[in-house]
Amino acid sequence: MQLSSPVPHKRARIEIIPLIDIMFFLLASFMMVSLSQTHMKGIRVNLPAAQGPPPTGQLDFVTVKVLEGNAIFFNNEFVQDDQVLPRLFELHRGNPDVKLSLSAAPKAVYGDVVGVLDKIRQVGITKVGYQIRAASGVGGGSAAPPGAPPPQGAPPPPPGP
């Protein structure tokens, strides 16, 4: 007597996808081994060093900082208030396309910064950039949302138009 199995009888078949994965792995392995065994041989050549154009003495970029008490710095060099205009004329004469970066300390007076900007425009320098920091970065606190009451001890804001 012959009994049939409850498990259906399947024919064996060859799965091709795992074979493809193995072939890619072998191909990559052989490529890496062959590249590591290649020795580059060449002739040493002494090449000339590249040299840029000689310095012209012209300044392309100047930073101007205004600090508390109307202290003005050109490229971190202190300049007296009465020497700012001659210094700007000298910069403009040396390079008419000079670029200025104007920044101010948090406690600098607004009028001092505008005065320096007026002198820059009076000379004829037109390429001026402003370094601006967020108000929250100055004091370490976060800025209050619009319409929020001022913090204790702070003067009330001026009335709007």
Average pLDDT of the chain is 80
Residues 19-51 have pLDDT tens digits of 899 999 999 999 998 888 777 777 888 888 888
Name, in order, each residue with C-beta under 8 angstroms of 125's C-beta and a sequence gap of 6 or more: 88, 91, 92, 98, 100
Q: What does the DSSP 8-state code read for residue 60?
A: S
What domains appear along the chain, each with residue ranges and CATH number? 61-133 (3.30.420.270)
Cα–Cα distance, 112 to 114 (Å, whole number): 5
- pLDDT tops 70 at residue 143: no
| Sign (positive or negative) of CA dihedral 26, 27, 28, 32 | positive
**Cβ pair 102, 64 in contact under 8 A:** yes
Stated pTM of the model: 0.49
